[in-house]
Structure 1
Amino acid sequence: MIRTRFAPSPTGFLHIGGARTALFSWAYARRHSGQFILRIEDTDVARSTPEAVQAILDGMAWLDLGHDEGPFYQMRRMDRYKEVIQQMLAAGKAYYCYTTPEELDRLREEQRARGEKPRYDGRWRPEEGKALPATPEGVTPVVRFKNPRQGVVAWNDLVKGRIEFANEELDDLIIARGDGTPTYNFCVVVDDWDMRISHVIRGDDHVNNTPRQINILQALGAPVPEYAHLSMILGDDGQKLSKRHGAVSVMQYAEDGFLPEAVINYLARLGWSHGDDEVFSREQLVQWFDLDHITPSAAQFNTQKLLWLNAHYIKQADNGRLADLVAPMLAARGVTPAPVPTLEAIIALYKERVQTLVELTDACEGLYLAPAPAEELKAQHLTEETRPILADFLGRCAGVEWTTAAVGALIKEVVAAHGAKMPKLAMPLRLALTGQTQTPSVDAVVTLFDRATVMARIERLLGA
């Protein structure tokens, strides 16, 4: 069975790169009716926080990337790691090393001075016929993995192709610190083994860890997963994506008014493709997703394309759902929607014109607050020519049927009566009702409100 995992370190929010890794791992498992495991790699006690764990869980929930098992926490598996370390020591696959940090520093300085690659020299590595140094007093040993000295460690990376490392380039990795706590690469190996992970899909910053992990797995007699290393994501400017590019946290996109389906669709296209398809559903992604069409080159983030996708999904979304999303955003601004117009009515009219829920909230807020048009707009559109036209429309409002069609006909009738062009009435009407000059069709905006509100707002503008 296909079993994938997402294994973030809870040292910060769930960023876009991590979200893409989670998505690809989730989609691959779903595509093959497999299982997706969530693992929290929290052994960096100094930097891991409960808040960061929650931020990861919130991000996964918002994207609806449900896991089948977990979340598993490495700090709760310490006994298991220590058990495996003891087994490796007993089998001669690992050994105690009493080299002090000061000795290691001197060793590396000497190696650099000779133009050599700085590395542990294996002085405590047991070898047949080799005499080990006398065990020093007062030194707490670390445990090192006895890495093979000969040959290569290689794998067929499902994104990058064949990758190999010479074992002689890999020194004996510390797998347990002096206080007995296991190290990252060792915990990952035991976890992937115990959790029966078949495919490890992760960022290519882990490529250098992979040969060490493969060697430990082989020393344990454990199956070696397939590996797929995803290239980094670049910002709009071609530089590595970072905080300076703006919203890199998944939940920041939620706060900025993006729909999760838009983010999912966009993330899926960051380094993977299905022909020329740009817009597709979650169900289509699961049906199509494979590892063969992941590009090994870096993917470039394009904020404008994400905004375009988000606008598309807002247009397609149910008005009631959008109202449920906009309502708390309005509440956070201290705005309580009036009975008329309803949120759904405003959204139906405005959702074709916005790219984010924040913009949609702006539109709704503007209609619920008393309009306060800028003085320069009033000077431009409420003139000696337009005042009588607006006043005439106000006078006829009381008797018109309150439908968009009837109000639209009245607007044309008033404009014609004054021999004017449509903007001469439409622009001051927009100012009166919304304080803005850019709105959807003015007759539709008028009939969003009840008759009394429209008349009161026109009177207020005329009296200004």
Structure 2
Amino acid sequence: MESSERDRVVTRFAPSPTGTLHIGGARTALFNWLYARNRGGRFILRIEDTDLARSTEESIRAILDAMEWLGLDWDEGPYYQTERLDVYREFIERLLDSGHAYYCDCSAEDLERRRQAALAEGRKPKYDGRCRHRGLGPGPDRVVRFRAPESGQTFLRDLIKGPIAFDNAELDDLVLLRSDGMPTYNFAVVIDDITMGVTHVIRGDDHVNNTPRQILIYQALGAPLPRFAHVPMILGQDRTRLSKRHGATSVMAYRDMGYLPEALVNYLVRLGWSHGDQEIFTREELIRKFSLESVGRSASVFDPEKLLWLNAHYIRERKAEELVVLLEPFLAQRGYPKRDPAYVARAVSTLQPRSRTLVDMADGLKFFMVDEVDYDPAAAAKFLKPDMVEPFEQLIRELEQLDAFDEKTLEAAFHRLSERLQMKLGKIAQPVRVALTGVTASPGLFEVIDILGKERVLQRLRRALDFMRREDGVAPAMEHL
């Protein structure tokens, strides 16, 4: 794309490090990232850490980890507002010199009394402009306020919501700089966006009411306005704002629940954006097709089942060897013994069609991973019964004699045994499944036997044989068959 540096799209994501990165913030970051990538622009990461009481290093790390996990790489940053205080001070001086800002020494107690009085008289409880014309200079416990216009309208031409007009009389003289020297959100965000060359501000629509105040600051500084795009909020299935009561809201909680980043990215982009009827997108397709024109104006409903469906799709699509690496922390949590990655990959491939999360898969891998399986009591009572002792004895002899141990050879051996015993194959297969896996549902039996290998299979069949002999009141043989 041919364009001058000045015309290039620049977007930013600017979280406050007062907690983890949540679903709503992640979608905002994703939309900014996609728009910049689609337009050949730059994506900036900025940490708005001026709330010293609530900002933490732990939260910063959690946000960066979540961005990296989602694959939302940034071109500049992370910038930290606490490292830019000199920049804010410079712009404060410009506003003071031009008469667009002034010092105020009203105490918090006095402000509250006047607000209450305004409410009692039916007036809007906004700052009454008491210090506007006092000509105060800097001093202890003094803040700097913006001198907002008292009449007229401020217009927002939103790329998603369309044109919105705000009455200036409804706005008040907001604080730009606190008495401790820290800038307020509405001031710092404007200065950051001006100095970083941000061309498009894409954020949640909970910021719409901040926008006229920010536009007025841009205008007071004679700075060009960015284009604003306010994305509708995300709702829970009860159509209230998404919160913890609807389940996990933290991005990294989804990682820990066994979701793949590409599934969450795909799901988040579809919360408010669409491209025809297409549901599944590669990252390259998202970059190529994303546009703000296709972002809807209505709130989106978070559907956990839809996310699970997408996650299952991406689990099926991943190479088994890649899933082995992603599964490592889940396998370690369960205390499974270390196994050869190639063996685990073969086991993983049998579970890909039936696993919706990596947690599902880690649980399903148990019988492949452990040295000795635990029998489900109901399954053992139903299938590992004394009348299966003789079939198991013959099966063990049959399998011991096999040179090859692949699915085709194993299936032929089972059919021979079925004919010899005049038993239906299922009558033999299900007890064998329980003996090998401990449960009644698993991937294909011959596939399982092939992966487990001859030594493990014979060991587990012999153990099940001993179990059934004990159930029959017969002491186990001194030597295994």
**Would you call these one fold, judging by a TM-score over 0.5?**
yes
Out of 11, 23, 26, the residue aligned to residue 18 of structure 2 is 11
Q: Match for residue 146 of structure 2?
A: 145
Alpha-carbon contact 2:232-2:297 (below 8 Å) kept: yes
Deviation string 1:318-374 (CA, Å, 9 cap, x unpaired) is 111111111232123322233497111101111111011111111223322111102
Q: Does 1:403 align with 2:410?
A: no
Deviation at 1:121, TM superposition (A): 1.1
Equivalent position of 1:21 in the other structure:
28
Shift of 1:422: 2.9
Query: What TM-score, normalized to structure 1?
Result: 0.95
The corresponding residue for 1:123 is 130
Q: How does 1:384-403 map onto structure 2 within 5 Å? A: 384-400=386-402, 401-403=404-406
Say yes or no: does 1:72 pair with 2:84. Answer: no
Distance in structure 2 (CA, Å) of the matches to 1:296 and 1:152: 23
Scaled by the length of structure 2, what TM-score is found?
0.92
The alpha carbon displacement at 1:139 in A equals 6.3
Distance 1:125 1:138 in 2: 16
| Contact 1:202 1:228 survives alignment (8 Å) | yes
State the percentage of identical aligned residues: 48
Preserved contact between residue 204 and residue 231 of structure 1 (Cα < 8 Å): yes
Q: How many positions carry a matched residue from both structures?
A: 458
CA contact (8 A) 2:103 2:138 kept: no
Alpha carbons 2:200, 2:226 under 8 Å: kept = yes
2:224 alignment partner, SS class: coil
Identify which range, 389-398 or 412-421, moves more after superposition. 412-421
| Aligned counterparts of 2:341 and 2:164: Cα–Cα separation in 1 | 64
- Residue 365 of structure 1 aligns with an amino acid whose one-letter code is K
Segments of 4+ moved more than 4 angstroms: 135-139
| 1:380 pairs with one of 363, 379, 382 | 382
Gaps of 5+ in 1: 127-131
What residue in structure 2 maps to residue 265 of structure 1?
Answer: 266
* Structure 2: distance between partners of 1:373 and 1:158: 60
Query: What is the Cα-based RMSD across aligned positions, in Å?
Result: 1.7
d(CA) in 1 for partners of 2:335 and 2:219?
61
SS of the aligned residue for 1:463 comes to helix
**d(CA) in 2 for partners of 1:367 and 1:263?**
29
Letter in 1 for 2:425: M
The aligned residue for residue 292 of structure 2 is: 291
1:60 aligned onto 2:67: yes
Worse-superposed segment, 94-103 or 137-146:
137-146
Whole-angstrom CA distance in 1 between matches of 2:81 and 2:389: 72
Asked whether the 8 Å contact 1:266–1:309 carries over to 2, the reply is yes
Residues 149, 455 of structure 1: alpha-carbon distance in 2 compared, 3 angstrom cutoff: same
Instruction: Please give the residue correspondences for 1:33-432 in structure 2 after superposition, counting only pairs within 5 Å.
Output: 33-126=40-133, 132=134, 140-339=141-340, 342-369=343-370, 370-400=372-402, 401-432=404-435
| Structure 2: unaligned runs, 5 residues or longer | 1-7, 468-481
Query: What does the per-residue CA deviation read over 1:8-31, in whole Å, with 9 as the maximum and x for residues that have no partner?
Result: 000000111100000000000000
Partner of 1:129: none
Q: Look up the SS of the partner of 1:189 in the other structure.
A: helix
TM-superposed deviation, 1:384: 4.1
In 2 relative to 1, CA 136–114 (structure 1 residues): closer, same or farther, beyond 3 Å? farther
SS in 2 for 1:205: helix
